[in-house]
Amino acid sequence: MNRNIRKVIIVVNLQKDGAPVLSEEINSYLRNLGIDVFIFAYTGKSEIPRLETADLVISLGGDGTALFCSRIVESMSIPILAVNIGDFGFITEISKKEWKSAFIKFQNGELSLSRRVMIKVMVERRGNSVAFHKGLNDAVISSNGISNIIRLNLNINKTNLGKYRADGIIVATPTGSTAYSISAGGPILDPEMEALIINPICPFTLSNRPIVVSGNEVIKITVEEGQRADIILSVDGQDAYPLEEGDLVIVERSQTKALLIRSDKRNFYDILRSKLNWSGGANA
Q: Are 237 and 137 in contact (CB under 8 A)?
A: yes
Residues assigned a catalytic role: 63
Q: How many domains does the chain have?
A: 2
CATH code, domain with 235: 2.60.200.30
Query: What CATH number should be reported for the domain holding residue 64?
Result: 3.40.50.10330
Residue 78 sits in the same domain as residue 206: no
pLDDT, tens digit, for every residue of 207-243? 889 999 999 999 999 999 999 899 999 999 999 999 9
Tell me, yes or no, whether 283 lies in a domain.
no
Residue 282 lies inside a defined structural domain of this protein: no
Residues of the chain with pLDDT under 70: 87-88, 147, 279-284
In a domain, 33, yes or no: yes
Q: What pLDDT is attached to residue 282? A: 55
Q: What is the pLDDT of residue 111?
A: 95
Separation CA 250–CA 122 (nearest Å):
5
Cβ–Cβ < 8 Å for 112, 140: no
Cβ atoms of 199 and 221 closer than 8 Å: no
Its pTM stands at: 0.93
Do 243 and 217 lie in one domain? The reply is yes
Radius of gyration over alpha carbons of the chain, in Å? 20
Q: How far apart are the first and last CA of the chain?
A: 42
3-state secondary structure of 193: coil
Range of the domain at 199: 118-255
Beta partners for 240?
A: 234
Pick from 170, 12, 266: nearest CA to 275:
266
Same domain, 122 and 250: yes
**Domain check: are 98 and 199 in the same one?**
no
Pair 128, 244 in one domain: yes
Answer whether residue 1 is part of any domain.
Answer: no
Closest CA to 191 of 114, 251, 113: 114
